[in-house]
Structure 1
Amino acid sequence: MIETLIDRIASGDLAPGAMLPSEGDLGAELGVSQGTARKALMDLERRGIVRRRQGVGTFVTARTPESALFHFFRLRNPDGSHAAPALEEENVRRRRSLRDEREALFGKPDHVFEIERVRSVDGSRLVHEVSVVPAALFPGLSERSPLPNTLYVLYQHAYSIAIVQANERIRAVSGKPEVCARLRVAAGQPLLRVDRTATDLSNRTVELRTSHFVTEEHCYAVALT
């Protein structure tokens, strides 16, 4: 049942923000008990695919700029509040994929879009990002530049690709000269490197992202639940 609902959401049959049938109606439609339907919806809610409003109903999660930003952008101000990034520079280009990109991304794409961005917080350049996505899944992406601050909202609304999970590896590195130049810091300055693999509703790897953060006055916060 869960797979059926995910397929309907991924196909666009159940669009972002759409209200799902009641547990009883959903169970009858799919040929399962109301209890089974309830458990499936609870699991989808836990995974962030749907949201339930008491006394109202269950809705397909729709990423808004604010929800996507604060869910996936984890840089925090010294007082612990969310840091709101602004776009400083952007370059979007279509190119042939590298071997490790072909192996990791859905469809083993021969071509990808590379999105390089520099983002600032309160006027200071703090983030250098390089995101790589399969060209076949994001047709015309380069023509949309400049892209919105929150890429995952664009992915969902323009391409029906909803990011539901991002796995990250974090390590401290000495900044390479080209990255430090874009961030306007001294070459070799310690930076926080975050390598992200993002998957969508259908468990497809649709984005690889490498980010470098200046964290002298800010921190990269992760909440464990």
Structure 2
Amino acid sequence: MTLTLTVSDEVRTLVPGFTHLAVEARGLVNGPSDETSSALLDDAARRLAERLDGQAPDKDPHVAAWRAAYSAFGAKPSRTRNSAEALAKRALADGGLPRINRLVDAYNAISVAHLIPVGGEDLNKIEGSMRLVRATGEEDFVTVAGGEESVEHPEPGEVIWCDEAGVTCRRWNWRQGPRTRIDDDTTDAIFLLESLTPMTLDELRAAGEELAEVLQKVSPGARITVRDPE
């Protein structure tokens, strides 16, 4: 069954230029980072450096648009960076990008190369549909702090992704919860690529198609579908 993704009218009113594209993948085989996934990350860091040409990531127009979107719902973008900017800073720093597992490496590489937030969720851990909404502040966000499971609540008005069980990602694409994240046992997943004006639909589609290609590289034989931008 295809996962239903919806964006609330409140979010669309807050940030009219928002678009997202989904890549569904089934029959995946994940595992520890390897030479293939590591090479994808190294190439993404090289492409990012060429794109920025010495500038900081926040000078890129798409990253700047995300900073404005975060400010619109009350977040401080210098303290809680969107996922693309946070990864870009790590890619340019000593030590470079972290190696997590093959699937996470693949979508992190696309995020860095295209400077676009990309998230991955285990389809078998999502309950019901997924929605992008503005929080009431009562929603549960289950996380881990100090090795112990804890429950947080988003700020009222914060933009969140959620399913029927609670928040899956806080502050739009800032911090994913452990409940639905991709791990070594993941076989079916959905990857969300999120864009704002000035990124064009053609640029968003190109990122989605490249993600489909690299997923085939790290997990040959997977059944992958690129869904139209929504």
Query: After TM superposition, is the score higher than 0.5?
Result: no
> Which has the higher relative contact order, 1 or 2, with Cα contacts under 8 A spaced 6 or more apart?
2
Higher helix share: 2
Whichever of the two has the greater Rg, that structure is 1
Q: So what's the TM-score if we normalise by structure 2?
A: 0.24
Higher strand share: 1
